[in-house]
Amino acid sequence: DAGVTQSPTHLIKTRGQQVTLRCSPKSGHDTVSWYQQALGQGPQFIFQYYEEEERQRGNFPDRFSGHQFPNYSSELNVNALLLGDSALYLCASSLEQGRGTEAFFGQGTRLTVV
Amino acid sequence: RKEVEQDPGPFNVPEGATVAFNCTYSNSASQSFFWYRQDCRKEPKLLMSVYSSGNEDGRFTAQLNRASQYISLLIRDSKLSDSATYLCVVIYYSGNTGKLIFGQGTTLQVKP
């Protein structure tokens, strides 16, 4: 059973560029949440997707957007990259919008903005 | 004030020591509580859930105090393999959706 998979694992972008990160949830899971983890900090909630809609959003600007596909996989898009966007981006999958069920994380995408 | 706050680390302890981590949360409407473990440059993984009655899993004991909005994790007889960052996690529900809110993490280094 494949767990949560993310791609790419590492990425280097230039300030001002746009980036798309991808996530495939654990088999049987229907909810995908995205987190940003800066060095030395805990993961910060970006948003959650369920039934192809954004259901909840954290305190992130509109430059951060996402999408969920009918097969439950998801993309995170970041426009106009800033140096401060450099972080580990984690995708977590769960069931039924995360109500009391364990969330499983992918290995993350490490984004470096130069 | 952060929604979930943890003890600042790092904690450096010898093998065999007992160590305790604390965590406070600000939203009294929080409904589910967990401890996750994150190894260096890896993804977080669920360590254990936390219940009001307290729960134990081998050398690990987790406790929740809803009145004080406080969560704890106790590790007895520390092993070298316990070295990691421990993340306190609270689930907030808004309507039907739950989102995990993480503390900043506390780093534990167990020395021989």
Task: Compare all CA atoms of chain A with the CA of B37 and give the residue at the minimum distance.
Answer: A42
pLDDT of A100: 58
Dihedrals φ, ψ of B21, to 5°?
A: -115, 145
Question: Quick check: A28 pLDDT over 80?
Answer: yes
d(CA B91, CA A31) in angstroms, rounded, equals 15
Do the chains contact at B105 and A42, CB–CB below 8 Å? Answer: yes
For residue B45, list chain A residues with Cβ-Cβ distance below 8 A.
Answer: 105
Task: Compare all CA atoms of chain A with the CA of B43 and give the residue at the minimum distance.
Answer: A107
DSSP tag of A38: -
Cα distances (angstroms) measured from residue B99 to each of A13, A44, B104, B105: 29, 10, 16, 17
Residue of A33, A54, A56 to mutate, interface with B, max B Cβ within 10 Å: A56
Q: Which of A81, A71, A70, A61 is nearest to A21 (CA)?
A: A81
Residue B52 pLDDT level (bands cut at 50, 70, 90): confident
Residues of B at the A interface, defined by Cβ within 8 angstroms: 4, 6, 31-32, 42-46, 87, 91, 93-94, 96-105
pLDDT of A67: 97
Q: Which of B74, B70, B66 is nearest to B47 (CA)?
A: B74
Residues B86, A46, A78, CA angle at the centre, nearest 5°?
Answer: 125
Place of tokens 């993310």: A6
Residue A99 pLDDT level (bands cut at 50, 70, 90): low
For residue A103, list chain B residues with Cβ-Cβ distance below 8 A.
Answer: 46, 100
Do the chains contact at A100 and B42, CB–CB below 8 Å? Answer: no
Helix (H) / strand (E) containing A23 = strand A19-24
Highest mean pLDDT: which range of A18-32, A93-107, B28-42, B96-110: A18-32
Beta-bridge partners for B55: B62
Do the chains contact at B46 and A103, CB–CB below 8 Å? Answer: yes
Distance from CA of A3 to the nearest CA of B (A): 12
Question: Quick check: A113 pLDDT over 90?
Answer: yes
Residue B79 structure tokens: 């092993």
Mean pLDDT rounded to a whole number for chain B: 91
